[in-house]
């Protein structure tokens, strides 16, 4: 890969700074995510999450492996 010129490096650094949330934003987002993920007793959900068994678990695992493989393939060929 060729080295970037100083202007190109500055652009990349500025994009990274804009993309990365501040610690306060990160903490707020994490607390909101955790609150949304935990429905609590008031939601009326009976007994908590269901457990997958047998074929359903295998299909989910296979789908996740395929998704990761596809993402890695896409990332490796994105710059071409």
Q: Give SS3 for 39.
A: coil
Q: What is the pLDDT of residue 34?
A: 86
Question: CB neighbours of 14 closer than 8 A, spacing ≥ 6?
Answer: none
Q: What is the pLDDT of residue 43?
A: 53
Question: What are the extents of the domains in the chain?
Answer: 7-38+53-77
Residue with tokens 């490796």: 76
Q: Give SS3 for 13.
A: helix
Tens-level pLDDT at each residue, the chain (80 residues):
578 898 988 998 999 888 888 889 989 988 988 888 876 665 555 666 678 788 999 999 999 999 999 999 998 887 66
Q: What is the pLDDT of residue 72?
A: 93
């Amino acid at each position: 890969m060729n080295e970037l010129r100083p202007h190109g490096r500055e652009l990349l650094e500025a994009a990274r700074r804009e993309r990365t949330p501040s610690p306060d934003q990160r903490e707020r987002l994490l607390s909101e995510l955790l609150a949304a993920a935990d429905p609590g007793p008031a939601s009326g959900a009976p007994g908590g999450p269901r457990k997958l068994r047998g074929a359903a678990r295998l299909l989910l695992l296979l789908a996740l492996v395929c998704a990761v493989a596809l993402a890695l393939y896409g990332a490796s060929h994105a710059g071409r």
